[in-house]
Amino acid sequence: MQISLSTFLILLVIGLAGGMLSGVAGVGGGIIIIPALVFFLGMSQFEAQGTSLAMMVPPIGILAAATYYKQGYINWQYALILAIFFFIGGYLGSKMIINIPQTIVKRIFAVFIILVGIKMLFNK
């Protein structure tokens, strides 16, 4: 399947924005990439979530983590445990959520982002 130049450029901007936010604040996939894929490329919520998960596999573990490693900011024990359970949780979550209507998933996602934003805004 060929991708148009405009779609490629949109993906380029989304990828850079998500990657930069990931490197800066440890977020990106859920907060930038998923909504951008839905709003700018017309993907369904499930397609956007699946695409976001698939694209994160190679880059997160390599370049971004290497920078943090060089500065001594990685707890390898925590990272290994988190990776194992993130792997399991990702599988279980995807199996569970796929049976819920997309409109409900979008609302849950939106409320989650709002609550996280409010908590971050008012925390010290």
Of 27, 16, 48, 15, which Cα lies nearest the Cα of 120? 27
Position 32: which residue type? I
Q: 12 is written with which tokens? A: 């380029």
pLDDT band at 120 (very low <50, low <70, confident <90, very high): confident
Q: Look at residue 52 in the predicted model and tell me its pLDDT.
A: 81
Among 80-84, 95-99, 117-121, the least confident range: 80-84
3-state DSSP helix/strand/coil % of the chain, to nearest 5: 85, 0, 15
**Does this model's pTM top 0.85?**
no
Number of structural domains in the chain: 1
User: Could you tell me the residue range of the domain that residue 89 belongs to?
Assistant: 5-122
- Has residue 25 got a pLDDT over 70? no
Rounded to an integer, the average pLDDT of 47-74 is 76
Q: Cα separations (Å) of 101 from 22, 36, 80?
A: 28, 20, 33
